[in-house]
Each structure stands twice: as C-alpha cells, then as structure tokens.
C-alpha cells in the first residue's frame, strides 16, 4: 500500500501501560465519541496533543468496538498537501485552545492506492478534552471526500439566501467567530460568484457589540477604497443580518494560491522572486498610501489570477480585528498575522508599514530556499535570519532581501517604493 490515507491496522495491540491513560479518557467520553462518529460515513482520526495520529479508521462502526487498536504516531500533517499545511495548523491550534471547540476546514489529502493522487476533504475537528480529561486524547477529526476544490462546489448550504440575495455554496474557512463562504449573487445573471465573510458577535456586552459594528463599517469603507486597485478584490456589499451577524461581500478571484507554487524542498529561480516582488510592491505601495498595513502577507493570501497571472492580495485582517472586539477584547492590542512571516514589532502588537515588507521578503526567501519560514535559522547573537548560504544570488538581490528582513524595523527598508527602486537597479 502506498503512503496516504491510513487504513485500520492489524498490528499487535500496544501494551497495557500505554493504553491505561487512553482507556481512562475513553471510558469518560465514549458516549460523546459514539454520537460524533455514528452518523459519519467517511474517515475518522483521533489525534494526540502534538498532532500525531492515535487511531485511524474508514469504518466508523468498527472503530467504536476496537478503539484503540493502533498507535501510529504518524503526524497528521504528513497526509496533507504542503500548500494546505498553514490552513491545517491554524485550525488545529485554534481547536486545541478550547474544550468542546469545533472547527471546519477543507484541505487536500494524499489519496490511497487506486484513488486520484490528491483528494479534497472536508474536515471537522472537535476538541474532546473536557474538565478533568487527559491530554492523551485530544482531537477527533472526521473527514468527508469532496467532489472537487471547494470553489467548484455548487450545492447550497442554506435554503434561504442571506439577505434575500446571497446563496451560500461552500464553507471555505472557519475560525473562531468568523466563517468564509463561496456564494452566488442571485440578483446577477448566471448567479455570479462572490466571497462572503460572516462574523457572529458572541459577546453579550452591548458596548462591545456597538464597537464591533462601528469597526465593521470603518473597515468596510477602507476595503471599499482599496478595492479600486485592480489587484485587490472589490468590496461588493456590507451589512448586518440578522441582528447578531455582520457580513462582508467581496469579489471572487478565480485562480490559485501562491502557496501552490512554493513546495518544500523545491526552490524557485531568482527570476521568479524578482517578478514576485515587482508584482507585489505596487500593491503595497497603494495599500500603504491609504494608511493601511496588511499585517498578514503570506503565500495563502496571494492569488495568482487565472486570467492574466497577476497577483491579487486578499484578506486584510479586518475580520480578525473585529473578532477580537466581538469577544470583548481591545482590537488595538491584538496580534494579527502568521508566525514565521511576522517581524518582531508586529509580534509585540506594534506593526509598521515595513512589517509588510518583512513578510514579503520572507516569502521571497521561502521561494529561493524551499524552506518553511519557521525553519529558517537565526544568528544566535544578532537574531538575524541566516539563509544566504542556501542559495547563490546576484549580490544586489541578496542585499535587497537582507534589508527587507532586518530584525529591527529602523534598519529595514521603509517603503515599497524603496524596494521597487532597488529592483530597478538590479542587473
């Protein structure tokens, strides 16, 4: 059997010493497990706290009678296509934070022998760690195969269109109080596609809710201005519906995430990086000119548009800021971004315009080296990234990237215009 989706194993059972803590948790939570699994006809995994697989089965009914019959200790990420690792990690970490938390997401998994090379799966993650529970059994993951990429699914998720107009088709991402959907606008010919971000206000504090609504309107106005740029999705609408939910409706961009071009261990040539920076910097020049810091530049937030191969920058963090306020927190103190792409000042909650340049530089280095940003070594004395020994570059480009990713932002390039000038000076 080739590597891929695991089948139940017939290997000898583990020793009693290994099973004792697991069975203790199982006894406490068997009923919950049964309810979670009984109606599921797809794959089921039970994961440890470190993300390794404790049990895997394609036969849920048998799973309840033989659990636990295998301790594989295989990392679940090894089943997921590299371009979806970030999405999985974010969902997994979010689910771990709260007992009873449920997170849904779509990822591509390596298929089993006799199946297509890549299988889209809709995964539901549930944190099973209740009060007094043990960390040996943490996460239940159930998966249902999809017929194609989420953007190609057309089965409605709700009978009634949102606001009497937008028909939800597919859940693209879910995290905390925010969900992102592919939808169709029923008032346009042929039900034009769009993307809808839905924020549920969970705080009972009326002041927090009022603040969230004000921020929602302010962010929507900013996105409306930014959408005048050809490489930023247009804001189509924003509204509250029903009383507790806020919606942003944006243009749907047909294409692929840049993460699909950045595979671990497969470096891109120097010319790719130069074109990447030449395409991205004018977008950042425009965004920064409107006083906006993106705060989450990374491959999954860049779409290679199918019509002209230009980059489109998505996800401006507005909903993430709103999410913090909806929970009663202070939006100004929230750290927004993705580890590995965030510079020091952003981790401290004080992002600068040059923070976006740092993230763009990290994407460039990731492309050149084939390394995950979290695996790029640092100088133990200065904290600066050590990457030039991994590649051979023309000195001008190497110097440019070094100045984009300086640890301390005053030593960094300060504007996208400055980066463009340095690119123009390259041989």
Write down the residue that tokens 């549930």 correspond to: 126
How many other CB atoms are there within 10 angstroms of residue 360's CB atom? Answer: 27
Predicted pLDDT of residue 77: 76
Predicted pLDDT of residue 325: 52
**What's the mean per-residue pLDDT of the chain?**
74
Those residues with Cβ within 8 angstroms of residue 156's Cβ, 6 or more apart along the chain or in another chain: 167, 168, 169
* pTM for the full predicted model: 0.64
pLDDT of 37 higher than 80: no
> Buried (b) or exposed (e) across 280-302, using 16+ Cβ within 10 A?
bbbbbbbbbeeebbbbbbbbbbb
pLDDT of 102 higher than 60: yes
Predicted pLDDT of residue 256: 87
Predicted pLDDT of residue 98: 63
Share above pLDDT 70 across residues of the chain, in percent, rounded to a whole number = 63
Between CA 427 and CA 419 the distance in angstroms is 15
pLDDT of 108 higher than 60: yes
What separation in angstroms does the CA of 273 have from each of 103, 155, 242, 393, 407?
35, 39, 45, 11, 21
207-232: average pLDDT: 80
More confident residue, 97 or 5: 97
309-317: average pLDDT: 88
All domains of the chain, ordered by start, with CATH? 16-147 (3.30.450.20), 151-251 (3.30.200.20), 258-424 (1.10.510.10)
Query: 115-129, 209-223, 249-263, 393-407 — which is least confidently predicted?
Result: 115-129
Predicted pLDDT of residue 229: 94
Range picked from 150-154, 376-380, 402-406 for highest mean pLDDT:
402-406
Catalytic residues: 296
Between CA 303 and CA 309 the distance in angstroms is 9
124-153: average pLDDT: 57
34-40: average pLDDT: 49
Write down the residue that tokens 């009914």 correspond to: 61
Between CA 370 and CA 131 the distance in angstroms is 42
Backbone angles phi, psi at 27, to 5 degrees: -65, -40
Those residues with Cβ within 8 angstroms of residue 308's Cβ, 6 or more apart along the chain or in another chain: none
Predicted pLDDT of residue 407: 94
Of the CA atoms within 13 Å of residue 349, those in its CB half-sphere come to 7
More confident residue, 171 or 318: 171
How many other CB atoms are there within 10 angstroms of residue 22's CB atom? Answer: 20
Which among 356, 201, 375 is positioned nearest to 284, based on CA atoms?
Answer: 356
Contact 233, 225 (CB under 8 A): no
Long-range contacts of 180-183 (CB under 8 A, 24+ apart): 181/157, 182/150, 182/151, 182/153, 182/252, 183/249
pLDDT of 319 higher than 80: no
Range picked from 55-69, 242-256, 324-338 for highest mean pLDDT:
242-256
Write down the residue that tokens 């990690």 correspond to: 89
pLDDT of 326 higher than 60: no
Backbone angles phi, psi at 174, to 5 degrees: -145, 135
pLDDT of 62 higher than 50: no
Does an H or E element contain 345, and which?
helix 344-347
pLDDT of 262 higher than 70: yes
Range picked from 55-69, 163-177, 183-197, 272-286 for highest mean pLDDT:
272-286
Between CA 416 and CA 333 the distance in angstroms is 25
pLDDT confidence band for 277 (50 / 70 / 90)? very high
- Map 28-89 to HEC letters: HHHHHHHHHHHCCCCEEEEECCCCEEEEEECCHHHHHHHCCCCCCCEEHHHHECHHHHHHHH
């Amino acid at each position: 059997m080739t590597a891929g989706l695991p089948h139940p194993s017939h290997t000898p059972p583990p020793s009693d010493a290994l099973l004792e803590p697991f069975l203790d948790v199982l006894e406490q939570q068997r009923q919950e497990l049964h309810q979670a699994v009984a109606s599921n006809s797809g794959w089921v995994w039970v994961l440890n706290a470190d993300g390794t697989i404790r049990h895997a089965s394609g036969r849920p009914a048998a799973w309840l009678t033989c659990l636990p019959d295998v301790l594989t200790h295989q990392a679940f990420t090894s089943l997921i296509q590299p371009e979806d690792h970030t999405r999985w990690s974010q969902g997994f970490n979010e689910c771990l934070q709260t007992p009873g938390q449920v997170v849904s997401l779509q990822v591509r998994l390596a298929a089993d022998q006799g199946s297509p090379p890549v299988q889209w799966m809709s995964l539901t993650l549930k944190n099973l760690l209740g009060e007094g529970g043990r960390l040996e059994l943490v996460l239940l993951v159930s998966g249902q195969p999809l017929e194609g990429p989420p953007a190609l699914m057309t089965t409605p998720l709700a009978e009634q269109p949102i606001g009497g107009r937008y028909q939800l088709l597919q859940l693209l991402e879910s995290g905390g109080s925010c969900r992102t959907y592919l939808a169709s606008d029923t008032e346009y010919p042929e039900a034009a596609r769009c993307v809808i971000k839905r924020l549920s206000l969970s705080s009972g504090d009326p002041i927090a809710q009022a603040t969230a609504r004000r921020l929602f309107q302010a962010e929507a106005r900013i996105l409306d201005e930014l959408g005048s740029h050809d490489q930023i999705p247009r804001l189509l609408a924003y509204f509250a519906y029903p009383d507790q939910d806020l919606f942003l409706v944006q243009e749907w961009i047909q294409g692929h995430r840049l993460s699909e071009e950045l595979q671990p261990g497969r470096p891109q040539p120097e010319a790719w990086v130069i074109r990447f920076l030449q395409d991205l910097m004018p977008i950042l020049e425009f965004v920064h000119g409107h006083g906006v810091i993106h705060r989450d530049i990374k491959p999954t937030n860049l779409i290679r548009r199918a019509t002209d191969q230009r980059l489109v920058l998505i996800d401006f963090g507005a909903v993430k800021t709103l999410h913090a306020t909806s929970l009663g927190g202070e939006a100004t103190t929230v750290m927004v971004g993705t580890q590995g792409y965030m510079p020091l000042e952003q981790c401290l909650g004080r992002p600068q315009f040059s923070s976006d340049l740092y993230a763009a530089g990290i994407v460039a280095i990731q492309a050149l080296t084939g390394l995950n940003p979290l695996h790029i070594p640092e100088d133990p004395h200065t904290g600066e990234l050590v990457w030039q020994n991994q590649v051979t570059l023309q000195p001008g480009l190497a110097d440019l990237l070094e100045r984009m990713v300086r640890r301390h932002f005053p030593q960094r390039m300060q504007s996208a215009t400055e980066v463009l000038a340095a690119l123009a000076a390259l041989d």
